[in-house]
């Protein structure tokens, strides 16, 4: 399933869960039987991470791809490299998706590319949050007539701490398609 679809499904489920919980919640307060007026008790705001101010984390994620081509992809066909970063800001419940794609430089048996993702994330719990990194390598024809054969390879690179503001983080991807 597509990561964007999974993220949308997650947000929808969280929203429905919140709606279900609030629809059955009781409101604290007092009822005056003489005037038949209900006066709600003022809410007390907790001082937890959800009330903390967001901090901006910005920088660049650089992915250097070295690809060995062993599939039957004609040399004239395009190989593309896609890198993505997914972040869940636990303090705000915000999902951030970043993605970039470039065309690889290739020969019959190898390809290379560099994907750069500049980012600026507003995070409430940035030091505790993690980013998940993935890549996709796609080899396909450039026209309908040359669309096949094609080759797709996707893999996760792991979960990493959010880099300090202003940092360029570099990742090396060695893959075979």
In a domain? residue 134: yes
**86: helix, coil or strand?**
strand
Give the structural domain span for 89: 53-176
Give how far the C-alpha of residue 63 lies from the chain's centroid of Cα atoms, to the nearest Å. Answer: 16
Maximum pairwise Cα distance, the chain: 88
Tokens of 162: 């959010």
In a domain? residue 167: yes
In a domain? residue 104: yes
Residue showing tokens 């959800």? 50
Q: State the pTM of this model.
A: 0.68
Query: What does the alpha-carbon distance between residue 62 and residue 80 come to, in Å, rounded to a whole number?
Result: 15
In a domain? residue 29: no
Q: What is the pLDDT of residue 114?
A: 98
Number of domains observed in the structure of the chain: 1
Per residue in 2-47, pLDDT (tens digit) is: 444 444 444 444 443 443 444 444 556 666 676 666 566 554 444 4
In a domain? residue 87: yes
In a domain? residue 39: no
In a domain? residue 47: no
Query: What does the alpha-carbon distance between residue 156 and residue 5 come to, in Å, rounded to a whole number?
Result: 17
In a domain? residue 114: yes
């Amino acid at each position: 399933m597509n990561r964007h679809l999974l993220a949308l499904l997650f947000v929808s489920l969280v929203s429905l869960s919140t709606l279900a919980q609030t629809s059955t919640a009781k409101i604290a307060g007092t009822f005056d039987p003489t005037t038949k007026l209900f006066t709600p008790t003022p809410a007390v705001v907790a001082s937890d991470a959800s009330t903390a101010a967001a901090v901006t984390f910005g920088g660049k994620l650089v992915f250097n791809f070295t690809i060995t081509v062993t599939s039957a992809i004609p040399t004239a066909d395009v190989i593309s490299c896609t890198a993505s970063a997914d972040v869940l800001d636990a303090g705000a419940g915000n999902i951030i998706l970043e993605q970039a794609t470039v065309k690889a430089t290739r020969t019959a048996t190898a390809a290379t590319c560099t994907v750069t993702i500049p980012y600026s994330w507003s995070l409430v719990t940035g030091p505790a949050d993690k980013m998940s990194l993935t890549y996709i390598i796609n080899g396909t024809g450039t026209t309908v007539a040359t669309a096949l054969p094609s080759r797709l390879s996707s893999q996760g690179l792991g979960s990493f701490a959010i880099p300090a503001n202003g940092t360029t983080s570099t990742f090396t991807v060695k893959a075979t398609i």
